Amino acid sequence: MAVSGIVLVLFLIAHMLGNLKVFAGAASFDGYAHWLRDIGKPALPGVWFLWILRAGLVVAVVAHIWAATVLALRARAARPVQYAHRKKIQGSYAARTMRWGGVIILLFVIYHLLDLTTGHLNPVGDPTRPFANVVADFAPERWYVTLFYTVAVVALGFHLRHGMFSALRSLGQQTPGGERRARAVALGFAVVICAGFLVVPFAVLTGLVS
């Protein structure tokens, strides 16, 4: 769970930083996207490196879902007789939001790939012009797309906050003070990631990027 989670978090940090290039203009953003396809050349043929990264991401996502399923089944097997009256303790509430949050994020990623990677659901839909795709996507008249992205990114933020908190606690922050620190670091991290992602659609929506 943790190893695949770390891989996905590293991807999110890199993706969020890359997205911020939108503020440097079309040439910089599109140039960055083209550069991603050229990494490894000439040792590797074109876009091979990107496909290796994509394969790594798919492995991480599958491992993350698989580990979550194994852990959930193990937890259920440990208590074959269900609670007659299940108290809403914090742990089970967090687990439930993690599951549904994960499903929302997965559905969002599928939509997002069809939107900004393949272009099928994008008004411009030209994979060679990611800046134009982003600007068309979050145009003011398509405010509902920004709303949908916002819901998904906030769900991602909750997921990250709880995942990061659990990971930090497993790494030894188990005293009351350590838990407080882990909670603060996890919250700060989730807020930075959410803000870093959301600033792009909102910059387009408000006309700051056009």
CB of 179 to ligand HEM, least distance (A): 27
Q: Does 206 bind ligand HEM (CB under 6 A)?
A: no
Q: Does 155 bind ligand HEM (CB under 6 A)?
A: no
Q: Does 33 bind ligand HEM (CB under 6 A)?
A: yes
Q: Does 109 bind ligand HEM (CB under 6 A)?
A: yes
Among 60, 165, 201, 209, binds ligand HEM (CB under 6 A): 201
Among 4, 5, 64, 105, binds ligand HEM (CB under 6 A): 105
- Please tell me the distance from the alpha carbon of residue 30 to that of residue 25, in angstroms, as a whole number: 9
Instruction: Let me know: does 131 contact 22? Beta carbons within 8 Å.
Output: yes
CB of 82 to ligand HEM, least distance (A): 33
Instruction: Let me know: does 94 contact 31? Beta carbons within 8 Å.
Output: no
Q: Does 117 bind ligand HEM (CB under 6 A)?
A: yes
Q: Does 200 bind ligand HEM (CB under 6 A)?
A: yes
Spell out the SS3 assignment of 32-90: HHHHHHHCCCCCCCCCHHHHHHHHHHHHHHHHHHHHHHHHHHHHHHCCCCCCCCCCCCH
Residue 26 CA from chain centroid, whole number: 24
Beta-carbon contacts of 194 under 8 Å, excluding residues fewer than 6 positions away, are 153, 154, 156, 157
Q: Does 146 bind ligand HEM (CB under 6 A)?
A: no
Residue whose C-alpha is closest to residue 156's, from 108, 203, 112: 108
CA dihedral 38, 43, 44, 45 (to 10 degrees): 80
Of the candidate spans 41-49, 92-100, 104-112, 162-170, the one that interacts with ligand HEM by CB under 6 A turns out to be 104-112
CB of 42 to ligand HEM, least distance (A): 21
Residue ranges binding ligand HEM (CB under 6 A): 15, 19, 33, 36, 54, 105, 109, 112-113, 116-117, 127, 130, 134, 149, 153, 156, 197, 200-201
